[in-house]
Structure 1
Amino acid sequence: MTSEAAVAANAPSSALQSGPAHKDFYLLRSFVAGGVAGCCAKTTIAPLDRVKILLQAQNPHYKHLGAFSTLLAVPKKEGFLGLYKGNGAMMVRIFPYGAIQFMSFDRYRKFVSINLGISGHIHRLMAGSMAGITAVICTYPLDMIRARLAFQVKGEHRYKGIFHAFKTIYTQEGGFPGFYRGLTPTIIGMAPYAGVSFFTFGTLKSIGLKHAGSVLGRPSSDNPDVLVLKTHINLLCGGIAGAVAQTVSYPLDVTRRRMQLSAILPDFEKCHTMLQTLKYVYTTYGVRRGLYRGLSLNYIRCIPSQAVAFTTYEIMRQVLYLN
């Protein structure tokens, strides 16, 4: 009897009847799991994401306000749906982004462990960084569109929608290179963000299951031989991972947004390169009101976002029989 036959013979009958074969469309199922996780996470914090963009780029209508004041001011000025401006473009972007990130993380983790011989917790850091960079490069134009749409204020619309924004940027900002303005700080910022995020979550998960598995874990619904964290523990670990990762990479996130929006800002000539933008933001606004402006809101948004992303992905892994 082959090893696969032996596994099948010993598997629970319910799994054989309802679960797909271990390798059938595995990459597709992994892709869907990551996409669903990303969409759930971003939908949860979409209003906070809009406010963050307005603060990072010093929108003239809200730059005198703080994070919570802006959160209250946007519905008064633009209506409740103003909090979700640009969210359509975000959903178009975030499904492939989340799908590529989570799927490629699994592939990179195996590659680093098997081909490079790197094990322990460090392989999660490397795999997470590479997965984040891969997802960013593949979906960056959509992030650009989303930022432009979210920055607009009611009554001062430059773009009518997603397709109009694509057309305008392509024709007026140098073709396809215009969609990748700010890519360098994004990649530099994404490497530590995604790496630290996956590293922190994976490390907390492995330590928890290893030392307190009977308390923190339970058998996976698709494979009773695999122990997974309970849902509320997953949420906690994901939230911690998001907070740590954001602290490390936030100044580069501010730089990315200002470069993305440079063409529609009055000080655009000072934000052409990453170093130029970092220096300008620092000298003009300082650390707290410049490089880390909006961070208090970002903590509030990144904790539930990462908590929901990791938890949803763990649930989808069980639903789609990926364990």
Structure 2
Amino acid sequence: MSGKGKRLQDEGTRMQVVVAGGTAGLIARFIVAPLDVVKIRLQLQSHSLSDPLLFARRDLNGGPVYKGTLPTMRHILRHEGVTGLWKGNVPAELLYVCYGAAQFTAYRATSIALERFHEASGIAPKPHVDSFVAGASAGAAATAVTYPLDLLRTRFAAQGNGPDRVYTNLRSAVRDIARDEGIRGFFRGLGPALIQIAPYMGAFFACYEGLKPVTGQLAGQVGQSLGAGDAAAGVVAAVAAKTFVFPLDLVRKRIQVQGPTRNRYVHKNIPAYDGSVVRTLQTILRTEGMRGLYRGLTVSLMKAAPANAITMWTYERVLHILIRLDDDKKHTIQANL
């Protein structure tokens, strides 16, 4: 958003928003990919080094035991190489590009619809409420549209190398899931994803819109010209929203790797869940305690903060560039008439 007080949804054409959102998702995903792989590995781990009975158990089936972000990264680098930290990056890049484009387009469309509603009804707008509704709608729409890519990203990030590899490439993964699990297999965990994403994106955009004026003032003229205010608002909003909905994100990951390949991933002892959000939450609480619902939270926040900061910063910068180029083109055409 510009310093003239324009709101996010008022800037740019629909195509400019799509391009800016897709570019933001592409860049953010590549940068935070290693943290995403680490987060998924920790979320799928149903055991921890802090468990005093860990080494007396016999259900690990040779799977690795991770503890902490850096040790997990070192373990992946040692056993799977540098490329291990970018596992699932192809479907993830497709996911982030499509998600970013769909998210910002839906956010813009919903916000404009809300503004028209207020104008027609005479009801005074409530900026934070409108931002929450627009963000929740945008998140739900983008999640539903791109969900099969999210599931593929999780499964690739969860698999090992060599004989432990479940899928050799994206094409074979799509073919195998369609053959063995049907169309429904691509949407395992969609329920908790939608339950999670609506309040998450609603809270994120509400916080982001509310914080931008404050962070913009704190950043000053130079910092604001560099987009420091946008990035700072994105970081704070992401941390607050992610912490609130994290257990549902963990449930989604556990359900995504259910099915005939459940015992073939890096973690050989992923429990079986029936797909119910409530029953999965109850099972994790009963067997792993409250801490089980927050496995990988630290690395998730480490990922969410820069990812959202990069996304919002890139989106705003790319959108402004596209608008400026379009304005320059119009001025050139007018000058030649």
The interval holding the TM-score normalised by the smaller chain is 0.7 to 0.9
- Which residue type is aligned with residue 36 of structure 1? T
The letter for the 2-side match of 1:273 is S
Q: Does 1:270 align with 2:273?
A: yes
Q: Secondary structure at the match of 1:134?
A: helix
C-alpha distance after superposition, 1:117-138 (max 9, x if no partner): 4432210011000000000000
> Do the aligned partners of 2:215 and 2:230 also contact (CA within 8 Å) in 1?
no
Cα pair 1:62 1:70 within 8 Å, conserved:
no
| Equivalent in the alignment of 1:291 | 293
The residue aligned with 1:153 is 160
Q: 2:109 and 2:271 mapped to 1: Cα distance?
A: 40
Which consecutive residues of structure 1, in runs of 5 or more, have no partner in the other structure?
A: 1-21, 220-227
Q: Alpha-carbon deviation of 1:218?
A: 7.2
One-letter amino acid of the structure 2 residue matched with residue 169 of structure 1? I
Partner of 1:260: 256
**Structure 2 unaligned spans of 5+:** 1-9, 47-59, 264-269, 328-337
Partner of 2:36: 49
TM-superposed deviation, 1:115: 1.3
Residue aligned with 1:272, SS: coil
Out of 132, 142, 145, the residue aligned to residue 149 of structure 2 is 142
The one-letter amino acid paired with 1:287 is M
How far is 1:65 from its partner? 2.6
Take 2:109 and 2:222, find their aligned partners in 1: how far apart are those partners?
Answer: 25
Matching residue of 1:204: 211
Q: CA deviation at 1:192?
A: 1.1
Give the counterpart of 1:92 among 91, 94, 108: 94
User: Matches of 1:154 and 1:271 in 2, distance apart?
Assistant: 28
| Superposition CA RMSD, Å | 2.3
Corresponding residue of 1:279: 282
1:303 aligns with 2:311: no
CA distance change for structure 1 residues 126 and 232 in 2, over 3 Å: closer, same or farther?
same
Distance 2:146 2:99 in 1: 6
Match of 2:247 among 244, 251, 267: 251
Taking every aligned residue pair, what percent have the same amino acid on both sides?
A: 32
> Structure 1 counterpart of 2:273, which letter?
K
CA contact (8 A) 2:99 2:146 kept: yes
> Is the CA contact (8 Å cut-off) linking 1:216 and 1:230 kept in structure 2?
no
Q: Contact 1:54/1:62 (CA < 8 Å) preserved in 2?
A: no
**Residue number in structure 1 paired with 2:335:** none
- Give TM-score, length-normalised by structure 1: 0.83
Query: Are positions 1:238 and 2:211 aligned together?
Result: no
CA distance in 2, matches of 1:74, 1:207: 40
In structure 1, what is the Cα distance between the partners aligned to 2:215 and 2:152? 40
1:55 and 1:62 in contact (8 A); partners too: no
Alpha-carbon contact 2:215-2:232 (below 8 Å) kept: no
For residues 27 and 166 of structure 1, the distance between their equivalents in structure 2, rounded to whole angstroms, comes to: 31
Q: CA deviation at 1:29?
A: 1.4
The alignment covers a number of residue pairs equal to 288
Tell me if the contact between 1:243 and 1:302 (Cα under 8 Å) persists in the aligned partners.
Answer: yes
1:102 Cα deviation from its structure 2 partner: 1.1
**Alignment-derived partner of residue 171 in structure 1:** 179
Normalising by structure 2, report the TM-score: 0.80
Q: Does 1:29 align with 2:36?
A: no
CA distance in 1, matches of 2:142, 2:225: 26
- After superposing the two structures, state which structure 1 stretch, 192-201 or 270-279, moved more: 270-279
The answer as to whether partners of 2:42 and 2:66 remain within 8 angstroms in 1 is: no
